[in-house]
């Protein structure tokens, strides 16, 4: 496991603040009748330090996939699988699969398929809760389209939530990408939407807990 570069500054600041809190806790309560409060606050500081560090963790995972596999782009829970009209790029019907990411999930995001990045666009927007039906179209978001070697394309979208207010991505149009490579990061809880061709084979169902770079979302048809 490693720590994501997006977390270096936040972790440093967070640990510094927690160290100051613990120092104050030590001098105020160690030598008083409030020793139980010192212990309680010390445990709280340790928990907060753990939560800050674990949020930016990135497990070392070796991807295993076949040419037409669609791998999960993020850790989380499948909350939507439905046929919708995709209006930003394709302007046709697609299968939408949405993955909700809680603050306890790994928040690095990964390419679901290999191919050429044909579309990259950031949109300013609202900060509705990530499970709100309109968050996919009204929230701050970044949209990407990869064209696979077999001619099929997949659109996927990072969506900010009520807490997640910074979306980071590291890809450019016409860049060749590989399944499972990191393309971005979302700070704090949010969601990822995928829009797949209607003839795609789907391997997940609503309620499934999925893992980025491990769970197979489905398969592109030739």
- The residues carrying an active-site annotation are 190
User: In sequence order, which ranges of 95-159 are alpha helices (DSSP H)?
Assistant: 135-138
In angstroms, the CA 133 to CA 138 distance is: 9
User: Using the 8-state DSSP alphabet, how is residue 90 labeled?
Assistant: T
In angstroms, the CA 147 to CA 23 distance is: 54
CB neighbours of 195 closer than 8 A, spacing ≥ 6? 84, 86, 90, 94, 95, 96, 154, 155, 156, 157
Contact (Cβ atoms closer than 8 angstroms) between residue 112 and residue 194 = yes
Provide the angle, in degrees to the nearest 10, between the axes of the packed helices 35-55 and 8-29. 180
In angstroms, the CA 159 to CA 5 distance is: 20
User: Using the 8-state DSSP alphabet, how is residue 33 labeled?
Assistant: T
């Amino acid at each position: 496991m490693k720590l994501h570069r997006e977390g270096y500054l936040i972790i440093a600041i967070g640990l510094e603040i927690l160290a100051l809190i613990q120092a104050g806790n030590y001098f105020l309560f160690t030598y008083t009748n409030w020793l139980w409060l010192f212990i309680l606050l010390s445990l709280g500081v340790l928990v907060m330090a753990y939560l800050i560090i674990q949020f930016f963790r990135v497990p070392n995972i070796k991807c295993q996939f076949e040419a037409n596999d669609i791998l999960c782009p993020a850790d989380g829970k499948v909350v939507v699988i439905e046929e919708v009209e995709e209006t930003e790029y394709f302007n046709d019907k697609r299968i939408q699969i949405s993955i909700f990411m809680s603050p306890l999930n790994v928040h690095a995001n990964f390419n679901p398929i290999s191919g050429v990045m044909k579309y990259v666009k950031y949109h300013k927007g609202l900060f509705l809760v990530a499970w709100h039906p309109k968050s996919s179209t009204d929230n701050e978001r970044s949209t990407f389209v990869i064209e696979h070697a077999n001619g099929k394309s997949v659109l996927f979208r990072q969506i900010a939530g009520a807490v997640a207010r910074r979306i980071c991505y590291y890809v450019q149009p016409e860049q060749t990408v590989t399944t499972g490579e990191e393309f971005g990061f979302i700070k704090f809880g949010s969601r990822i939407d995928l829009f797949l061709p209607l003839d795609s084979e789907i391997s997940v169902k609503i309620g499934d807990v999925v893992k980025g770079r491990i769970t197979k979302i489905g398969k592109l048809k030739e």
